[in-house]
Chains A and B, each alone.
Chain A
Amino acid sequence: MEFVVIGLNHETAPLEMRERLAFQESKIEEALCQSRSLASLKENMILSTCNRVEICAAALETERASVDLKDFLSQYHHIPLKDFEKNLYVFSGEEAVRHVFRVASSLDSMVKGEPQILGQIKDAYGTAAKSKACGLLLNKLLHRAFHVAKRVRTETRIGNSAVSVSFVAVELAKKIFGTLERKTVLLIGAGEMCELAARHLVSGGAEKVLVTNRTHERAVALAQEFKGEPIPFDDISQGLRRADIVISSTGSPHYILTHDQVAKVLRDRKQKPIFFIDIAVPRDIDPSVNDIENAYLYNMDDLQQVVNQNIQDRELEARKAEAIVEEEVTKFVHWYRTLDMTPTIVALRKKFEEIRKKELEKTLSLHPNLSEKEKKSLEALTSAIINKILHEPLTLLKQGQENGAAELYLDTLQTLFGLSEKLPEKLGRENLKEIPESNDLK
C-alpha cells in the first residue's frame, strides 16, 4: 500500500479553476462515499480550502489510483479532465508523505506559516474519520502530520511575525500601547481603507471609534457602523486630543495634519502618545510629525516595508522547517515500509527452511543406508509439514496488510520466532487529543 495525493493549489491553478474543483463543505462526506467505491482506493480524505483542493488516499496501486482519482474529480465536478489535468499535481509514496507534512506545517501555503491550514486539515480529517473513509494508514499519516506541524510551530518562528499591513499596524500599536484595550481610534476620511484598518483594530480590542470626514454625513454613517462618534472636520484637533491611534485616508492633495498642530495637541494631552497611520496617497500627515516626541507616524510604505522584512524572516524560518519535515518524512517512511509483509514472510520461510535442513541432515547422518528415494520422500515430507504450518499464518499476514492488523501481526511474529529484523520505531499517538472526536476510528 502506498499513499497518493492528487490535487491543485494556488501555485498550479488559477482561482477560477480552484473554485470549480472545490468541494462544498456539506457535500464532502457524500463525495468521500462516492470516491470510496473506486476499487483502487483503500482509504481517502478530501481537503478543500480556498487555496487548494486535494484528495489524499492510500492505495494498492498508485498508478491506477491516480487515474481513478482524476476521473473521479472530472466526473464529480462535470469538468472534462483535459481542462484541468495540467493544473494537477500527483504525489505518491514518500513524495506524498512529504507533501502532506509540508501542507500541515503551512510550508506549502500562499503565506508560509499562516496558521489556518492546520485547522482546515484537522477538519478534513475529522470529516473523513466520521464517514469512516480513513483507516490505519491515513490515521497514522495525519496524526504524524499534526505532530510535525506542532514541531514546526514550536521549534521555528515561522508564524511569529505579522505579514499583512493591517496586522503589522496592530502589532505596532501593541508595541506602543501594550494593549489595544480602552484605546480610541480616530478615522480621518470615511473611505473603505479606513474602515478596514479600523475593523482590525476594533477586533484587536480598541474600544472607541471617532470618525471625521469632509462630508459630515459619511462620517455619521461610518461612525454608526462602529457605534462610534462623528467629529466635525474643522475640529480635528478635538478628535486628536482624545485619540490614541489615528488612521488617515483622505483624497486631500495636501497635508491635513501638520507638525505644529500635532505638537500642540500632544502638549494638550500631556504627552500621551499617538500612533498615526497614514494610508493616503498622496500623504495626509506631514512626515515630520514622526520627529515629535510621543508621536509615531507610519505611512503605507513603512508598513509594507515591515511586511516585506517579516516575509523574509519567514523564508529563513521556513528553511529550518523544511529540515524538520525531511527528518520526519524519513522516520515515517521507514515506519510504513516495515508494514510491508514481504521481508518478514521471507525471513520466516528462511528460518523454517534452515531448521528443516538442519534436522534433516541430522536424521540422514544417523541413517546412512537410506536409498535416494527414501531420502527424497523425507525431504518432501518435511517440506510439506512446513508449508502446511505456514499456510495459515501467511494468509493471515497478507490479509492483515489490508485490514490494519499488520503492525500487530508483524510485531508478534517477529517476537515469537525471534526474527532478527529490527522493529521499526513506534510512532506515537501523542497527538490523538488534538484530533476531533471520532470514536468510529476503531
Chain B
Amino acid sequence: MNVFLFKFSTFLYLLGALSYSAYIISLKDYLSKAAMAAVFVGFVSHTLALITRYAEAGHTPVTNLYESLSFFAWMVIGVLLIANLKFKIKVLGALLTPIALILMLFAYALPKEIVPLAPVLKSFWHPFHIVFAFTGNAIFALAFCCGIMYLVQEHQLKSKRIGAITQRLPSLKVLDDLNYQSLTYGFPLLTLGIITGAIWAEYAWGRYWNWDPKETWSLITWLFYAALLHQRLTVGWRGRKAAIMAIIGFLAVLFTFLGVNLLLSGLHTYINWQ
C-alpha cells in the first residue's frame, strides 16, 4: 500500500512539475492552479504513504536511502506548500517541485522493502533527529531556489535585459527576504538536528561525537550557515553574496546527505545504504 501511494505521489509531482513548466512559459493562471492542485494531492497521498509505512514498519520510516529520499522530498513539498501560503510566488513551485521529483525518482530506483531497524538505532531520539535535520534541509532547499532566482534576476537588472525572465521572477527584495527567513528557520532546525543526533549517538554508541564523515560534514554545513547568518546580521551581507552562500550551503547539505553515504564510509553509512 505504502509503495503504491509513493508511486502515485511521484506521478502527481511529475504532473505538478509539468504544469508548472507550462505555466512559466505561458503564464496562464489555470496552469499554476492545476500544478498547485496536483502537488497538494501528491503531498496528501505522500503523507498517507509515510503513515502506512510507519504503521507497517513500527518505526519512523527513515532508515535507508529510499526512505530518506522520499522523506526529504515530502519535506520539500511541505515547505513549498507553507511558503505558498505566505508568499504568493508561483515560480517557487516551478523550482521546488522538480527538486522533489528528482528525489522521488532517485528513490524510485532503490529497493523499497521494509527492513527491521537495527536495535542500536531504536531510540526515542530517532524521529526527532530525523524530523529536525530534514526540515532544516528542506528549508535550505527553498533558500537555494531563492538564491538562484536572485542571481538570475539581479543579472537581468544589472545588464538591463528587462523582458520575459524579469517579468516571471519575483522582486529582489522578496527573494532576499525569503532567503533570510529560510536561514532563520533552517539554521535553528539544523542545530537541533545535530544536537538530537549527538544525544542519540550518546545512547547508541556511547559518545556524543564520533567524527564520522556525516558528523564532520554536518558540522561544516552548520559552520557555513552560521557564518552566513553572522555576516548578514553584522555587516549587512545581503543580496548577491547571501544568494551565493545559500547556493553553496545547499550543495554542502546535499553532500552531507548523499555524497557522504555514497563516497565516504562511516557510522552513518549503514543507516542509509542497504
**A residues engaging B (CB < 8 A)?**
157, 160-161, 168, 171-172, 174-179, 269-273, 290, 293-294, 296, 298, 302, 305-306, 309, 313
**Least distance between B218 CB and chain A CB atoms (Å):** 30
Give the chain B neighbours of A160 by CB distance below 8 A.
167
Query: Given the known A-B contacts A298-B160, A306-B160, A309-B162, are A175 and B237 also in contact in the complex, defined by CB atoms under 8 Å?
Result: no
Are the CB atoms of A273 and B239 closer together than 8 Å? yes
**B contact face: mostly helix, strand, loop, or mixed:** helix
Query: What number of residue pairs across chains A and B have CB atoms under 8 A from each other?
Result: 58
- The B153-177 residues at the A interface (CB cut-off 8 A) are 153, 157-158, 160, 162-163, 166-167, 170-174, 177
Q: 19 pairs across A/B with beta carbons < 8 Å?
A: A160-B167, A168-B162, A175-B157, A175-B171, A176-B157, A176-B171, A176-B172, A176-B173, A177-B171, A177-B172, A179-B173, A269-B236, A270-B235, A270-B236, A270-B238, A273-B172, A293-B241, A294-B238, A294-B240
Query: CA A241 – CA B27 in complex, angstroms?
Result: 38
- The B175-217 residues at the A interface (CB cut-off 8 A) are 177
Query: CA A54 – CA B166 in complex, angstroms?
Result: 39
Closest-by-CB residue of A relative to B26 is A157
Query: Given the known A-B contacts A296-B157, A306-B160, A309-B163, are A174 and B238 also in contact in the complex, defined by CB atoms under 8 Å?
Result: no
Number of interface residues of B (CB under 8 A): 22
Are the CB atoms of B173 and A178 closer together than 8 Å? yes
Give the chain B neighbours of A175 by CB distance below 8 A.
153, 157, 162, 166, 171-172
Query: CA A157 – CA B158 in complex, angstroms?
Result: 25
Give the chain A neighbours of B236 by CB distance below 8 A.
269-272
Query: CA A296 – CA B154 in complex, angstroms?
Result: 9
Query: Given the known A-B contacts A178-B173, A271-B237, A294-B238, are A305 and B27 also in contact in the complex, defined by CB atoms under 8 Å?
Result: no
Give the chain B neighbours of A293 by CB distance below 8 A.
239-241
Are the CB atoms of B239 and A294 closer together than 8 Å? yes
Closest-by-CB residue of B relative to A275 is B157
Query: CA A368 – CA B96 in complex, angstroms?
Result: 92
**Least distance between B188 CB and chain A CB atoms (Å):** 23
Are the CB atoms of A174 and B171 closer together than 8 Å? yes
Query: CA A166 – CA B177 in complex, angstroms?
Result: 27
Give the chain B neighbours of A294 by CB distance below 8 A.
238-240
Query: CA A36 – CA B238 in complex, angstroms?
Result: 68
Give the chain A neighbours of B177 by CB distance below 8 A.
178
Are the CB atoms of B174 and A178 closer together than 8 Å? yes
Query: CA A161 – CA B167 in complex, angstroms?
Result: 9
